[in-house]
Amino acid sequence: MRAKTILVLLVLSFATMALTASKAAGLQTDSSMQDFWARFKLAVTRSDKETIASMIQFPVKMPYGVPAIKTRTQLSKRYRDLFKAQADAVKCFADATPKLDDGNKNQFTVGCKDQAGNETVVYGFSRKRGIWKLVFLDNINE
């Protein structure tokens, strides 16, 4: 009886430690995402194309029928396509909340409203080797 009690206590202790460790790992993921998002949002607000370019994984996939943005030079020329044509990113990002993908903790999206007020524009971000980058812009109506 005493051995069973000790065994149960040990199992509960290990389970508690494992749960605590997984929660801490989740907080680190969320923290890195939030840090990246704050820096990205600030760069877009300031129209800081150099900083934005460093936070993008090229090519950036664009909505149906719109060619991908493949290089930093194309970003400079097509900045409006990415941040103003589908939605006003500066206005959207001011209040937008990133949504971590439940199925993949290395991806998150930010939804923006179009000119009609519908949340149809989606910016997609991905983390590879510990670094977050913008990877796509989509318009779910197209």
Q: Is the pTM of this model over 0.85?
A: no
Between vectors from CA 139 to CA 33 and to CA 118, what angle results, nearest 5°?
90
131 φ, ψ (degrees, to nearest 5):
-120, 125
For residue 83, the enclosing domain spans: 2-139
Start-end of H helices in the chain: 2-45, 49-54, 72-77, 79-80, 89-95
How does pLDDT run across 55-114, given as a tens digit for each residue? 999 999 999 999 999 999 999 999 999 999 888 999 999 999 999 999 999 999 999 987
Q: For residue 84, what is the domain's CATH number?
A: 3.10.450
